[in-house]
Structure 1
Amino acid sequence: MGGMFDPVVVGPQCSLPAGEPVTERLTAGEPAWATVVWDDPVNLMSYVARVFATYFGYSRAKANDLMITVHNEGSAVVASGPKERMETAVAAMHSYGLWATLSRMDQ
């Protein structure tokens, strides 16, 4: 029987190249945006961690830490960077069935 992080297709393919950091450098004056994932009563915690590992390329430990933050605190910033990139990440989280929003970080 497979483990929680065995390769399984759980949604759309990752659009981030392997090894690319999720937090990106911004040009001077460009506001930072965040992808915020919210706790929901539907998705299993193991599924949420797997989505974070699959889409963002996070390690098991990082994915689990973010999942626990979402579960315990109600939400977590799972990525930050340029607005367009974070809009794509929010849409991807929606396609996985997670509740996610876009938030400007300097507000």
Structure 2
Amino acid sequence: MGVMAGTAVPDLDEVTEIEAAPPTSWQTVVWNDPVNLMSYVVHVFRTYFGFDADTAHRLMLSVHHDGHAVVARGPRELMELHAQAMHEFGLWATVRKDVE
């Protein structure tokens, strides 16, 4: 291909990279409730998310002591599916933007 007369070709050193904005990440947050046993919350975390026993226990303790725990991060649609699944297990869960 040739360069048409009158068109300037930028010097490669002058070309700046354009970076796409990072995709917005979301969180699924499980909240403490007065109903579910700690052992049941661990069971749900292991069954649904596939966490190992230590991770599930640590997240459950965060829910119990801190009032909530972030159990997943990712695209909004997936986090909404996780929150709905937690509701089906009887847990309180919400979706929020990741604060990173």
TM-score (norm 1): 0.72
1:95 lines up with 2:100 in the alignment: no
* Structure 1 residue ranges without an equivalent (≥5): 1-26
Matched, 1:105 2:98: yes
Deviation at 1:28, TM superposition (A): 5.2
- Alignment of 1:76 with 2:69, yes or no, is yes
The separation in 2 between residues aligned to 1:92 and 1:28, in whole angstroms, is 30
Q: Distance in 1 between matches of 2:21 and 2:54?
A: 32
Greater helix fraction, Structure 1 or Structure 2: 2
* Alignment deviations for residues 32-78 of structure 1 (CA, whole Å, 9 cap, x no partner): 00000000000000000100000000000100000000000000100
Corresponding residue for 1:46? 39
Q: Name the count of aligned residue pairs.
A: 81
**CA distance in 2: counterparts of 1:106 and 1:73, whole angstroms:** 17
**1:60 matches 2:53:** yes
Q: Root-mean-square deviation (CA), in Å?
A: 1.5
Identity of aligned residues (%): 54
Write the distance in 2 (CA, Å) between the matches of 1:80 and 1:54.
18
Q: C-alpha distance in 1, partners of 2:32/2:74?
A: 22
CA distance in 2, matches of 1:91, 1:76: 16
Using structure 2 for the length normalisation, give the TM-score: 0.77
CA drift of 1:30 comes to 1.1
Q: Distance in 2 between matches of 1:97 and 1:87?
A: 15
Task: Mark the runs of 5 or more structure 2 residues left unpaired by the alignment.
Answer: 1-19
Structure 1 residue ranges, 4+ long, deviating more than 2 angstroms after superposition? none
